[in-house]
Every structure is written in structure tokens, then in C-alpha cells.
Structure 1
Amino acid sequence: MVKSRLLSSGGGLCMAILLGLCVVFLLDPMPVQKARHAVFDQYQRWQPRAYQAAPVRVVDLDEQSLARIGQWPWPRTQVAELVQRLEQAGAAAVVFDVLFAEPDRTSPEQLLRGNLLPPALATQLAALPDHDGQFAEALKRSNVVLGFAAEQSPRAGGPPLSRFGLVQQGPSPLAFVPAFQGAARPLAQLEQAARGLGAMTFRPDADGVVRRVPLFVSLNGELRPSLVAEALRVAQRTARYRLISSDSGMQRVDIGRLQIPTAASGELWVYFTRPQASRSTPAWQVLDGSAPPLAGSIILVGTSAQGLQDLRFSPLGGIIPGVEVHAQALEQVLTDSLLLRPGWATAVEGLALLLGGLALGLLGLYAPALWSALLMMVLVAALNAAAWYGFVAHRVLLDLFTPSLGLLLVYGAASIVRHMAAEREQRWIQEAFSRYVSPNLVNHLVAHPEQLALGGQRQTCSFVFTDITGFTAMMERQEPEAAVSLLNDYLEQVIGIAFRHEGTLDRIVGDAVAIMFSAPIPQADHQRRAMACALEINRFAQGYVAALGERDIAFGQTRIAVHSGDVVVGNFGGSVIFDYRALGDPVNTTSRLESLNGQIGTLVCVSAAIREHCPEVPMRPVGEVQLKGKAEAVAVFEPLEAMSVPTTDRDEAYEMAYQLLASDAAEALGAFETLSQQRPWDGLAAYHLQRLRNGERGNRLVMASK
């Protein structure tokens, strides 16, 4: 009951923890996001995307190109030449991951501004074509996509030009896509000359790692394509996009023949490969004609030069050029190797947390510790194996590791509650068992459970049996409540005495109490303990009767027997009931000796098995008692302390009369008659006198009844 109550309250605690974890999961705070991203990054590190040749190349404005041609920015005539050579090489589209927001400083028009030049030189410069104009002309003749930089701060000048059509199926996804308030745009003449214009902006996560590339962004409340989307549109010579969305966000973007599933935010999760040298071609090789074939490819022009600061953190670790992120996103689309984070992924993860938490909470609370631990490990391993399989086989991003942490927390809380319940139950059992075994023995058994051999073992024990004379009549004379109260008070005191002497309560039957010593833990001095316990019970009982008598409450005298012998002690009753007790002839003998008191006029009977271990306790012999049904007699003694008029030394008068009785002398009758006249209170002397008058002889007492 104690354990069940604690487990019930512990179940409420585990449920509260689980619901709290579910709320945290739904709120998706930064620590949860970081944990989820770390899982996805680890997946990619374990199994990065295998590189497949795709019609995507990077023309790299690398350190070597800058060293050969000059520092960036190059003259726009040089960039125009680069575009012309790429067009001649058969590029499907040329995409600049470079912002041309400022006029070319090497252009003749720019040189004339603010410079005092000789008139003849100024006239010659004014006659030269504008570099930006030349670049614009090159753009008009080619499939070129320029980029703009989306920003959070507003800018004057209005939104970039729109060169695309847009068909929307479903609700507007504006509320879900990355939102920006302004944009740094290319020069107007360049923007007008380009075939496409896309947002170059990434949205790195809080740790600075780029994991997603948008296909669309919100710019001042209007949808604008990204550089990747425009590259695909221009390369396919298509004029429009088709957006499929739902109330939960964007689902798919159709560009020409391509159908691209997206996250709700309209972003692609980038599945990165290891660095591939064949993906990039230095710009200087394009300009000098030594570049490898580029026909049919989408050409991304960008830079890996550190000084130009277009470097990004990769989930694989390390830093990669920003243009390579665009390139890898395009490769995924064109090779159909997209990473998917479906809309139902969050629901699956939440259900795994909720249902798994319920299962592990119940296991932790109620299942055996070993089984619950094994099942917990199996469940956590199965969830994470399923997530890993989804990534490997279907490129689906499921984070079941982060919910697993929540499952472990719930299981840990349940296990702690279970452990606390077990400890409390152990304390409860200890307290309950302390009502049967002396408390210090319980502590010893808890520390040394191997010394408690349940199931039965033979050992020598001592026993103290007590009973109250006339108890049934007393119950009939008094109100039941009062009689029960008196009995409970009496039993509490008797049991307390037994425990002080480190005895074990064998049983209570009504008003009768059976106490054993040297079980379950052997006690070398168990006979002495039993004797001392019996004498203290006798003193208490006599005082208890006297105290009640002063209140005119009748309470019977307590009869006590003390005996010792070999018995079998252990757990009897099998699996039906726990009954730790002793079985054997000494138990029956002790019970008979207790009843013997009522027949011979004594209050305490002690067997020779006890007497020989307690020579310091003054006693007088009762006789050789042959109990009913027994062939052998038991030497029985009465402690002098338990006499009606106790003495603590010797009872010489009785001993002299008893010696005559034992020797079968004729003078025994006269001796007991004289003794009885002198001691009308001496029940044992009166018993022997009655025997002698009935013609019995000697000190062998044959009992006709139990």
C-alpha cells in the first residue's frame, strides 16, 4: 500500500514532467533547435551525399585568379568578357553570386568625375564606352542571373524588378518564408539587362551554420525568388513559378519540369558532399580558354578568396565558399537527391516523445528494474535506428534523438520514484517486521540478508509462551471496547518486553503470546534471554493486574512457560501467506507447560533445558512432568521470583519437603501438610499435598489433560 501510493503520486510527477517536455518541444526553444541541428549534422558527417556529376559548375574568383588578373572588383569589361566566354562555352545560365551595387570605378565616366584632366585627355575618355554599359550589353545577350542582398533594414528605391510569373495554389506562404524589409540591388541598368534576379541571402542558424537555402523570400510583403530558384528558371527558359502551399506553409515549388518539395518555410535542406575539385573552375582558366567543357551547365560565379569574405560554416565541419552552398543545392535538385523534412516530421517526433514517455514512465514505475532498463534501451535504440534508416534510405530528416533525451529524463524520474518507493517500502517492511522481530535484529537482517534463510532450517531456539487466566470470562463481563483496549495495552507492553530482549514474536492468539529466541538470527545466550524476558513479563503482568485492581477492574493473572529445544524455523504457508514461525516438539511442549501452570498452581514454569543455562536464577523444582501424549518426562521448575510471595534466595522449607517427595518417603505427606498450613498462598505446595492425599507418590507428575 505504501509503495502503491508513492508510485501513484510518482506517476503524476512523471506525467507532469512528460507534459512539460511536450510543451518545451512544441515551443521549440533554441536549445532544442541546436540539439536537433546537431543530430542532422551528425547524420551528414556519418553519410555525406555521394557526389554525382551534375550540370552545375562554379567559376571561382579564387586567389590565383585574383593574382593573375588583379584584385576584385575587376573592371566590368573584364566581367563582360567572362560572361561572353561562358556564353560561347554553352552555359545554360550564368549566375552571379556577386553584388554589382556600385558603378565600375575604372569606367571612363567615373574617372572624369572629380579629376582635373587635360582637356584633350578628358575628351578622349568621354568618347570611350561606359564599362557598366558594356557589361549590360553582355548581359542582354546571355542567360544571366544577378543577385541582390536581402536585408532586415528598409532601403529606398523600391523592390527589385520582377522578371517572373507566379502561380499560387493554396494559401499564401508569405507568413512562413524568410522575411526581409529591404534589399541591396544591382545597378539599375544591370538589373534591367539580366534575365533573372534572385536573393543571394542565406539564413544561417544560431550557431552560424548554413543548413538551408530558400527558394523564396518575403521582401516588403512580396514573394521574391532566391538565386537558386532563378538559376533553375532561367536555365530552363521558363517564365513562371508554381507554388503549392497549405495552411501549414509551403509544400512544393514547380520550376519548369522540376517539382521541388520544400520545408514549410520554402527552404531546401542542403545535403552536402565532401569537397570536390571537379565542381570548381578558376576564373582565369575561363578567360584564357583553358577551362574544361562547360556546355549545358548552370555556371555559378563566386569567390573562395578569404579576403572577399563569402565563407560559410558547413554541417560537415569547416568553412566553404557561399557560392558552393548554392551549387550543392542546385546539384541536389538536378540529381533528385533532396533532403526532406516533411511537415509530419514534427508530429512524429512529438508522438514519439509522448507515447514513448508514457511507456517508459510505466516501465520505470512498475516493471522489474532489469527488464525496464532493457526495454528502455531497446526503445531508444529502435527510435534512433528508425530515424537513421529514414535518413539513409529515404533522405528524410527525423530527429528522434532529442525526444530520446526526454524519454531518458522521464524514465530516470520514474526510476528515481521507483527507487524511492522501494526504499520507503523497505522501511515500511522494516517497521512492520519490527513488530515481529526486535528492531535491532531487523537492522541486522537488512544489512546481512544472507543470514535470514527463509524456507526452513533446523536450529536450537528458546520459547516463552504466555496466557491470561479467565480471559474469556473477563471479555463477557466488560464492554467489548473496554476489554479490547485493556488487552491491546497489555499486549503492547508484553511485546515491547520481548523486543527489548531481542526476541521474535512467533504469534498472537487472542490473549496468548508466543515468543521465540535465536531465530531468525542465532543467539548464543537465547536461554538466558528467554528466562529474563519471562521474568520481566511476570513482573509487568503482576503490576498490571494490581493497578487495574485499584480501579476495580478485574484482569486475569498471566501464566508463563519457558522451554528450549531443536525446531525448524522458516517461512511456512508457501506463496499464499508469509508465516515466519517455528515448528517442532519444543513448541508443543512450551504450550503444554504454559497450561500446566493452571493445574499445579504456578504462574511460571521453566524446563530443565532453560534451568541448566540459568543457574543464577533461584528456582524450586516442580517435578518430573509427563505431559499428556508424551512418553518422556520433562523436569520443570518454578522461579522463586514468580511465587505468590516471592523470595530471591532459596525456598528451603519447600526443598526439604520436595526431597522427601522425590525419595518417596512416607514423611512427605506430613511435610506438605505442614507447609500448606504455613503457606496457604503456595499453590504448588497445595498441589503436591493433594496428589499425596490422592495416593500418588514420588515426583513424577503424569498429566491427564493438556
Structure 2
Amino acid sequence: MSDKRGAKNRNIFVRFFYGLYDVFAGSLGKKFAWAILLSILYLQYLNTPFIEGIRNRSFDIYQRIAPRIEKTVSPVVVVDIDEKSIGALGQWPWSRDVLADLITKLTEAGAVVIGFDIVFPEPDRLSPPVLANQLKGLDAQTRKRLSEMKGSDENFAAAIANSRVVLGGFISNDPSVLQTETLERMPSVNFMGVNPKKFVKPAAHYVGNVDVLEAAAAGYSNFSLDSDFDGIIRRIPLLNRVGDKLIPILGLEMLRVATGRNILVKSNPAGVEGVVIARSLIPTDGYGRMWIRYSKFDDANYFPAVDILQGRIGSAEIAGKLVLVGTSATGLKDLRSTPVNSVVPGVEVHAQMLKTVFEGDFLYRGDLMRAVEWLVILVFGLLLIVFVPRFGARTTFFSVLFAVGLAVLCSAYLYIEMSILMDVTFLMGAVTFMYIALVYSGFRSAEQQRSQIRSAFSHYLSPEMVNKLTDSPDSLHLGGEVRRMTFLFCDIRGFTAISEKFSDDPVGLTDLINQFLTPMTDVILQHGGTIDKYMGDCIMAFWNAPLEDEAHARNALNAATEMQRRLKEVNRTSRLRVEEEGGTFTEIRVGIGLNTGPCVVGNMGSDQRFDYSVLGDAVNLASRLEGQCKQYGMDIIVGEETYEEVDQQALLELDVIAVKGKDRAVRIFGSLAHHDAFLGSRVERLKVLNEEMLALYRARAWDEAEKKAVECQTIYPELNKFFGLYVARIREFKKTPPDDSWTGIYISQTK
């Protein structure tokens, strides 16, 4: 019992590792699929800017289809230095007295915090003391009065000090840029967990504002925006680093000033998790970058600076709002691209960041999502490699469409309902390319299989049968299977004597055989038969393999009948040709044996060489029946099982015989269908007389049986040899009667 259990376990073990081999090695198509899968997984792991750009394009589609819906009352407004304002107040940069007036009016209108998306790194060149030193041709009194006037930078600083203003600056790696002293004034950024400095993007320098302005400011920030590989701004770094100093982005610093709370960075060994401000967590990626969920650009919250200065916009629009001061004028070159809009003012990105934070509608894409996507690609890839070769192209195609569609729907659901960014582009690419590779491999394999089938069967099957096989190769079962079939053996009678006539002309004998085999083969193929082999002057064929043929017995008998008719034409044509050439005509006569029964059909032979053939007792019996044609004077002899499946009108019972080498006796029948003399009532009369003769013979009524056989000889001289056979048997039995065990079975001593 233990041995059986061990053998079973070993079989399971072997099947398991064979299955692994088939998955990991297998066909060339699987190897290509593995190469594609591993390449895509590796590219997904590398996450280069180009690769990331491809992924981000899919996120852009979601943002365009389902952008963030703007609230009726926006918490953020933009004071815009636009074309209208420049046209009214003159070219930029304006005097800082104008900007001081702008801050004063915004403060009076109730602005919570004012943030500048503009940097002032140099003193105002329009300040009166500066003009006193620069303008030529001034009289001494005027120059003195200008130099004694308060500078516009001081006026601007005073306005800043009377409000809550966050000044902007930018980071740079340009060695020619001068570092300002702003870093020393910036408040420290606290952190929880791992120090985030190593994850935050570094820069060499920070360029801030002139000292007098920064001394009056409530906050200091960076307004530099990082675009992705394709120039689109999808996320912004909430923090940048110069040396050991962490510099907040403009919107984050405005929130710090507005809430009066310090900035706290939450991080772990894998990277930054998010930034906490006023007990609210802003989620980021591992580098501290925040994904912005954009809304469509709406200029309803953009107010021209000139309208603020001239009093057309007041507290109704400004009170309680965070105010960003930025530019949209084309000449100032602060235009950016977002997933939702191809061109927007750069200040719009900061406004969108603030609105996203206020509404808490954050987009989340942590490093965990990349791991999840990597696993999903791996699982889908393995499923493709396992199932595509095992199922049809249509099934796998719709399964792949369903799977990809499901992944897209899941990704869309995560975005719309949970604000999670899940990438399906790599999955779609992996599935598409792997499916193409596997289907192409299957198609190529099918083409090779069709070519092999055509090569193997083109000489043995009709073109129609070969086409059926190539169209449905699954109907060809190689390796051997049991099937009920009909077999045909056809042999030239007296071939030895014919060969002797051509002893000096072997080429002539070959031509003769070819003239015989070619039309006989055509007939067999036309009736759906398969040529098994040629054995000298003998043809072996069968029906119902490799393609199924429910009428295999009828088709075989029809083929045998047509072969005998075609042989008459062959002999007639050959006679005319030989007589024209002055030669001696040799008539060809054949005997055909048919039998039906079960056998094994498939590839027979060795690993080095094999043939598509048949094995079984029914095959041997068909060969023996062909050998009895001469003895019974019949052109076609049919076995009992074939007789049961065909039209019996032209079949004449011949005997119950045990052929040589067989113990079991079978009834055999002769076919008269190819004899024009046996038609209609004449063949019916013959069958009646024959049955009477056989009944008398088997009843041992020798005299009556002999008379009936002689009568048949007289009426049907065409069958003289058959009935003469029975006359000879009866007379022999009269001399030496059979013993009591005789049942009418004839035991043949010849093949």
C-alpha cells in the first residue's frame, strides 16, 4: 500500500515540475512572453522620467474626464498682473510704491494672507533715492530732495509689515546666482520620524528678496515649480532643500502664516509620508511632492491688479481669502501646462494646490502603489502565459479585453471614489504585447502544424481532406487511438506471371504499375479514403481516419466499385496504346477485399521513424478477404460487418469462412455492383437462387444443392467459377461426407 502511495506522490511531483517547466520554458512564444513580462517589470521598477511620463499620461486622462469640482465660494483668489493692468499702469516692473498701495488695499479689504509669486531680489530702480543718483541733468536742489525722500522699498516694506505677507523666492543650481540672507530668517521645519532632508530635492542656492522687504515679511517661500518629463506640472514639492535648510513651497508657507502653526514633516526610512499643518496631513510621495487634483481653469477668481488699485474690487471679493499675487501677461513668461489645461498662469498651480488642501481632495500615490501595480502585472502576465496557449484565440481575446477593462474600471473607481492614482498603462502594455507574442506563436505553430499535415498526408489523402485537416488540426489525434474503421486491400491477380513478361523490361513494368496505381489512388481519395501504403502491386487504404467519416463503410464500397469500373477504362486505353505501338497487351485484373471493425490508428514505428498507419484484427481480415477473390471468382469480397452498414442490394452471400490464421468464422459477400449484367430483377433472382443453394448445402442435401448450383451456373455464366466451387465441394462431400460437427463453415488453407 505504501509503495502505491509513494508512486502516486512521485507522479504528482513529476506533474507539478512538468507544469512548472511548461510555464517557465515551453514554446518559443512563451519565452518571448516571459522576455516581455520581465522587461516591463524591470522598466516599471526603474521608473525613469520617460517611463514615469508614460504613466502620468494616464493620470492626465482621469483629471480631464473628472476634474475637481470648484466650490461656489473659493478660499483663494489671484490678483493678476495681466495685460489690462500693464496697459493701465505701465510696463512691468512697477514702482514698489504701487505694490505697497496694492498690499494696503488688499489688507484693508480683509485678505488673510498675501503671497507673492514674484521675487524682488534687487532694489527698486524707480525709488527716489535711486533716481537721484541715476538721473542726469538734475539741479542740486532737486537731486537733494529726491535723495532725502523715503525709498519705495521702504514704503513697500512698511505695507508688508502692516499685513501678513509671504514673499516668494526661487532655488537654483546656477553658480553665478548670489545667495541671499533669507535662509537665516526662515523658521525651522520640524519632522517626525526619519529626518526628511535626504529625501527632499536639494539645490545649491536660494534667491530671495532685498533685505528690507524680507525683514518685514511674515513668511518666506519657494515658488519654483517642477514639471515632469513632458513639461506638465502634475505635482509640486512641498519642500526644497538648500544646505540643511528646508524651504516650503509658497502655498504651504501661506498656510503656516494663516494658521500660526509650524510645519511638521512626517517621514519613515522609505521616504516622506506627508506634511502636517494645523493638524491636517497633506499626503505626498516619498520625495515630499504633492499631487494636485486640478479643476478646470476659471478666471472668475482672477482680479486684475488695476481693479484693486482703483477700488473696483473690494472686501466683498477679498475678505477672508488667501490672496496670491501673480502674473498672466504673456510678456512676463510665467505660463505653465497642467493635466487639465495646456496653458495657464504659473500662479494658477499655487492656487490649485491651496484649493486642493482646503477641500481635502488629495490625490494619493505612494510607493506602495507601484509595488501593487508590479504584482498585478506579474499575476496577469503569468495568467496569460498559462492560459493563452491552452484556449482558443477568441476565448483568450475576450478574456484579455475583460481583464484589461476590469483593471481600467478599478483604476477609474479608485481615482473617482478614493482619489488613489493607479497606473494601468504598464499592465495594458504588458498584456497587449504578451498576448500578441503568444497568439503569434500559436499562429506560427498552427501554420507549422498545417505544413506538417500537408506534407504528411498530401500523398495519401485527397486535397479536400488535406484542407479539412489543416483547417481543423485538432481532429488529427497522433500517437494512436481506437477507432472503428473500414479497410480496403487491392491486389493485381497473377502479378508474378505479369512480372515474368517484363523480366527484360523493368522500366516497362514500372510504367504498368504506375498506370494502374494512379487511377486507383484517385478513386480512393475522391471517396474520402486514406492511402496507408503501396506494397508492390497492392494498395492498402482505410476510411474514418484521420478525419471522422460516419459513412466510412459505404464510401469504401463505393470506392471499390468505382475502382473496378475505372480499371476497365485503364485496360481499354492501355490496349489501344499497346496495339498502336505493336506490342503485346497485358490485361490487369484486381481483387479487392473490404472489412469493417475496430483497430488502433496513429503514428506507428519508432522515435526515429514512424508512419501514420493502422493495427488490428479487422485489418488482417480485410487482407485475407482480398486473397479469397480468386478462389470465389469475385472482384470484390466484403466482410460481414461491412455488409451490415451498406446497401445490400448488389451483395451476394458467398460463404461462412474461417480464413487462414483465424479461428472465428465470418460470413463473406461478393459485390456485383460494378457488373452491368446484374441489374434490377436479374440480381434479385440470383440472390434468391443463391440463398436456396446455400441452405441446401448447409443442410447436407447434397443432390438438391448440386442441382441448384448447376442451375445457377446455367442461368448466370458470369459467376461460373463461384458456383463451380460449390459443385466441386458438394461432389467431394458426397464421396467423403463431413463429420457430425460440420456446420457449413469453410476453413481456408490459403491466404
- TM > 0.5: yes
2:379 matched to 1:355? yes
2:411 matched to 1:387? yes
Structural mapping, 1:107-186, within 5 Å: 107-116=127-136, 117-154=138-175, 155-157=177-179, 160-161=182-183, 162-186=185-209
Which stretch shows the higher mean deviation, 35-44 or 437-446? 437-446
Partner of 2:109: 89
Alignment counterpart, residue 372 of structure 1, candidates 396, 400, 405: 396
CA distance in 1 between partners of 2:351 and 2:671 (Å): 106
Q: Is the 8 A contact 2:388 2:435 kept in 1?
A: yes
Alignment counterpart, residue 338 of structure 2, candidates 314, 317, 321: 314
Partner of 2:230: 207
Alignment counterpart, residue 287 of structure 1, candidates 278, 287, 309: 309
Q: Is the 8 A contact 1:606 1:636 kept in 2?
A: no
2:99 matched to 1:79? yes
CA distance in 2 between partners of 1:636 and 1:106 (Å): 123
The alpha carbon displacement at 1:266 in A equals 1.1
Which stretch shows the higher mean deviation, 179-188 or 41-50? 179-188
SS in 2 for 1:268: strand
2:328 matched to 1:299? no
- For 1:265, give the aligned amino acid: Y
SS in 2 for 1:363: helix
Partner of 1:42: 61
The alpha carbon displacement at 1:705 in A equals 2.7
Partner of 2:718: none
1:151-209 per-position Cα deviation (integer Å, ceiling 9, x unaligned): 22133335633321221222233343333222332112212221111111000112221
Alignment counterpart, residue 43 of structure 2, candidates 14, 24, 42: 24
SS in 2 for 1:562: strand
The alpha carbon displacement at 1:501 in A equals 7.5
Note closer, same or farther for the CA distance 1:498–1:591 as it changes in structure 2 (3 Å cut).
same
Note closer, same or farther for the CA distance 1:422–1:137 as it changes in structure 2 (3 Å cut).
same
CA distance in 2 between partners of 1:383 and 1:159 (Å): 52
The alpha carbon displacement at 1:525 in A equals 7.3
Q: Which runs of 5+ in 1 are unaligned?
A: 468-493, 537-558, 610-622, 638-660, 666-682
Partner of 1:669: none
Which stretch shows the higher mean deviation, 168-177 or 49-58? 168-177
Note closer, same or farther for the CA distance 1:432–1:325 as it changes in structure 2 (3 Å cut).
same
1:380-434 per-position Cα deviation (integer Å, ceiling 9, x unaligned): 1111111101111111111123322212211222222222333334444555556
Q: Is the 8 A contact 2:33 2:385 kept in 1?
A: yes
1:269-298 per-position Cα deviation (integer Å, ceiling 9, x unaligned): 111112223322221222223314222221
CA distance in 1 between partners of 2:229 and 2:169 (Å): 23
The alpha carbon displacement at 1:34 in A equals 2.5
- For 1:282, give the aligned amino acid: P
CA distance in 2 between partners of 1:413 and 1:176 (Å): 40
Which stretch shows the higher mean deviation, 200-209 or 7-16? 7-16
2:538 matched to 1:515? no
Partner of 2:118: 98
- For 1:607, give the aligned amino acid: I
CA distance in 2 between partners of 1:624 and 1:236 (Å): 113
Note closer, same or farther for the CA distance 1:310–1:369 as it changes in structure 2 (3 Å cut).
same
CA distance in 1 between partners of 2:673 and 2:620 (Å): 15
SS in 1 for 2:39: helix
CA distance in 2 between partners of 1:107 and 1:193 (Å): 18
Partner of 1:594: 626
Partner of 2:746: 704
The alpha carbon displacement at 1:502 in A equals 5.5
The alpha carbon displacement at 1:506 in A equals 7.6
Note closer, same or farther for the CA distance 1:518–1:26 as it changes in structure 2 (3 Å cut).
closer
TM-score, structure 1 length as denominator?
Answer: 0.70
The alpha carbon displacement at 1:56 in A equals 1.5
Note closer, same or farther for the CA distance 1:137–1:201 as it changes in structure 2 (3 Å cut).
same
Note closer, same or farther for the CA distance 1:158–1:572 as it changes in structure 2 (3 Å cut).
farther
Structural mapping, 1:250-649, within 5 Å: 250-293=272-315, 294-430=318-454, 437-438=460-461, 440=463, 442-446=465-469, 463-464=488-489, 504-505=529-530, 514-516=540-542, 527=561, 529=563, 561-562=591-592, 593-596=625-628, 606-607=635-636, 626=655, 628=657
Q: Is the 8 A contact 1:250 1:262 kept in 2?
A: yes
The alpha carbon displacement at 1:499 in A equals 6.3
| Identity among equivalent pairs (%) | 27
1:76-100 per-position Cα deviation (integer Å, ceiling 9, x unaligned): 1111111112222222211111111
Aligned residues: 580
CA distance in 2 between partners of 1:634 and 1:386 (Å): 72
1:579-635 per-position Cα deviation (integer Å, ceiling 9, x unaligned): 999x9x9x99965543426968x9xx73399xxxxxxxxxxxxx9965646597667
Partner of 2:717: none
CA distance in 2 between partners of 1:300 and 1:518 (Å): 87
1:503-555 per-position Cα deviation (integer Å, ceiling 9, x unaligned): 545879x9998425899697997656579999x9xxxxxxxxxxxxxxxxxxx
Q: Is the 8 A contact 2:521 2:531 kept in 1?
A: no
Partner of 1:484: none
Alignment counterpart, residue 188 of structure 1, candidates 183, 186, 211: 211
Q: Is the 8 A contact 1:495 1:505 kept in 2?
A: no
CA distance in 1 between partners of 2:201 and 2:188 (Å): 20
Q: Is the 8 A contact 1:91 1:296 kept in 2?
A: yes
Partner of 2:576: none
SS in 1 for 2:324: strand
